[in-house]
Amino acid sequence: MVDEAQLLAALRAGDLTAFGQWAARAEPSLRAALRPFAAAVDVEAVVQEALLRVWQVAPRFTPDGRPNALLRFACVTARNAAVSELRRSGPSAATLDDVERALASEPTGRPWEPDPFLRAAIAECREQLPKQPGLALTARLTSAGADDDATLANRLGMKLNTFLQNFTRARKLLQACLEKKGVRLDEELAP
């Protein structure tokens, strides 16, 4: 694990590799911080927006001396981005109640590290996927957010709905396989 002072020095130097390592550990906390907003904003867009803002601000960021300062800052940035998005959409009273509760609690900002057993179990389960779901999963993983599903489906010679059904199948089969191996996803993958 990288010391935060070292990380900030790397970010000041424009080190994208260091930022990627930090972002990988930070993402689950950002998603957890945005749970109360999930019915009102597209969490995926807000998480990416928050990470882009952190990259822009990181060279000027001053830690407060408490652990995981940049991660806590990122969680606040993500929530602020969600609030801005909410204001644009005209939130309901129930949504505003959820948001008030969320803002009253401080984000925990605990970095996440996948354990090696989980990595090995997921890789084994992936190998057991049937061909079509395996292709859909690989297409999404390889694209890494660069292409929409219509493009990915077209690349595989599938109709969009067929591609989406195959991806759903891949996710469900992976989950079932992991459960057979004793991996309780909700516990293993909790932030």
Which residues are near other proteins by CB under 8 A?
16, 19-21, 23-24, 27-28, 31-32, 34-35, 38-45, 47-49, 51-52, 55, 85, 112, 114, 118-119, 122-123, 126, 140-141, 143-149, 152, 161, 164-165, 167-168, 171, 174-175, 185-186, 189, 191
* DSSP symbol at 43: H
Q: What gap in Å lies between CA 60 and CA 98, rounded to an integer? A: 32
Q: How far is the CB of 5 from other proteins (least distance, A)?
A: 22
Q: How far is the CB of 134 from other proteins (least distance, A)?
A: 12
Residue 5 or 123: which CB sits closer to other proteins? 123
What is the Cα Rg of the chain in Å?
19
SS (H, E, C) 45-110: HHHHHHHHHHHHHHHHCCCCCCCCHHHHHHHHHHHHHHHHHHHHHCCCHHHHHHHHHHHHCCCCCC
Q: How far is the CB of 151 from other proteins (least distance, A)?
A: 8
Q: How far is the CB of 187 from other proteins (least distance, A)?
A: 11
**Whether 181 contacts 116, CB under 8 Å:** no
Shortest CA distance to 46 belongs to which of 90, 94, 97, 86?
86
Q: How far is the CB of 148 from other proteins (least distance, A)?
A: 5
Residue 64 or 162: which CB sits closer to other proteins? 162
Residue 103 or 169: which CB sits closer to other proteins? 169
Residue 106 or 148: which CB sits closer to other proteins? 148
Residue 47 or 72: which CB sits closer to other proteins? 47
Q: What gap in Å lies between CA 4 and CA 71, rounded to an integer? A: 10
